[in-house]
Amino acid sequence: MAYTVKEADVVKDKQIMLRILQNNRSRDNYDYSKRYDWIYLNNPLGKAKAWIIWKDKTSQPVGFTGAFPRAVYVDGRKYIGWNCGDFSIEKKFRSLGIALKLRKAAKQAVDNNEIPFLYAHPNARMEVIHLKSGHLKIARMMRYALPVRLDGILSKFLPFHWLVRVFAIPLNVLLSYQYRFRIFSGVTAKNFDTVQVNETHENVFMKMTGQFPVLGSRDKDYINWKFRDNPNYAYRQMDLFYKGALVGSVFYTKRDKVINISDVLIDDFRRFADQLFRYFIKRVRRLNPEVVTVSFILQEFNPFVKVLKKTGFKYRDDATSGAIAYVNKENNPPLAERMLKGENWFMTVGDRDA
């Protein structure tokens, strides 16, 4: 049976791709239509690319995938590539051949010098397809979590809520001491219920481009689009200041009793990385007394992993996935040398646009 991959018109073919996406995703209280407009049409770097695979005999669309423009700095030089996602195939058409044919569409664009690179964050099942398509696994994305209150742990061992409350109070006070100290004199912070970044935040990001070899853009246009304008998630922000100057930011969501960090900005990593997380935890405990856990998914080689471990975060194996990249080594050997080594990347879950 023959199938053909064709580049989609992301405006005219919206309903086709939405239908396939909704047939193969299951998220409650999630507006896929608003998300589509946000990620396919309103990216500050331009419209996304997409490809639909059609069953030739019936002209039936059976799957599609998207590629979202993303700026990445490599040794301080800016490149525009693709962050790939939304790989979806209707259940009865899921086969290795169809998946490979669709997956290779974006790769061919890199091979043809249409775009210099792509990267993606596939789940375990899709990771196999990426590897067979010629993409390279550069790292794992790993979740680290920190209990900021012991109520949840105690509830597993104590039969009554009142007992949990009684024992939790002194234990939570003791737990807090490790975050109260070792904070610089002159460090302050401010929290925002919505994301609001400006040129000052962009200046912090530009300092990051000189500290990390491969770094996805976190300029003000991208951060505001990614977090402030996101149609399905309400992101918050904490800014860290040292003697009145902005030195870092944390972007995060809060759901029930869990804080999920999505991304960070840091002025001087060696000087302020530890302070950023210590102060963030201190603020979380004070401003959100119901929160029991802080969680952060980031790439295994991200230098913040050591900071998290030092602060008490522990690895959790419930959200591990792959980080995939592709650069044509013949067309652009220096870029491939840098981007295809996971150790060079500063990558967080915030780099996963899809």
How is the chain split into domains, by residue range? Answer: 3-140, 143-321+332-342
- Write down the residue that tokens 């920190």 correspond to: 146
Q: Name the H helices within the chain.
A: 14-23, 32-36, 96-111, 124-132, 151-155, 161-180, 199-208, 220-223, 269-287, 304-311, 333-339
DSSP string, 103-161: HHHHHHHHHTTSSS-EEE---HHHHHHHHHTT-EEEEEEEEEEEES-SHHHHHTT-SSH
User: Would you call 29 exposed, middle or buried from its count of C-beta atoms within 10 A (0-12, 13-18, 19+)?
Assistant: exposed
- The DSSP bridge partners found for residue 324 are 120, 137
Answer whether 3-140 and 143-321+332-342 agree in fold: yes
- Residue type (1 letter), 221: D
Q: Give the pLDDT of residue 164.
A: 45
CATH superfamily of 3-140: Gcn5-related N-acetyltransferase (GNAT) (3.40.630.30)
- Write down the residue that tokens 């609001």 correspond to: 196
Nearest-angstrom CA–CA distance, 326 and 38: 25
Q: Are 68 and 41 in contact (CB under 8 A)?
A: no
Per-residue buried b or exposed e for 302-339, using 16+ beta carbons within 10 Å of the residue's own CB: bebbebbeebbbeeeeeeebbbbbbbbeeebeebbebb
Find how far residue 263's CA is from the centre of its chain.
Answer: 7
- Tokens for 176, please give them: 């807090």
CB atoms within 10 A of CB 193: 10
* 189 phi/psi in degrees, rounded to 5: -150, 160
Report the SS3 class of residue 238.
Answer: strand
Q: Is 3.50.50.60 the CATH classification of the domain at 143-321+332-342?
A: no
Q: Are 352 and 139 in contact (CB under 8 A)?
A: no
Q: What is the pLDDT along the chain (354 residues), one digit of tens a residue?
A: 699 999 999 999 999 999 999 998 877 788 999 999 999 999 999 999 999 999 988 899 999 999 999 999 999 999 999 999 999 999 889 888 899 999 999 999 999 999 999 999 998 888 999 999 999 999 999 999 998 755 555 455 445 454 445 445 455 555 555 555 456 678 899 999 999 999 999 999 999 999 999 999 999 999 999 999 999 999 999 999 999 999 999 999 999 889 999 999 999 999 999 999 989 998 888 888 788 899 999 999 999 999 999 888 999 988 788 999 999 999 999 999 999 999 999 999 999 866
For the chain, how are helix, strand and coil distributed in percent, rounded to 5? 35, 30, 30
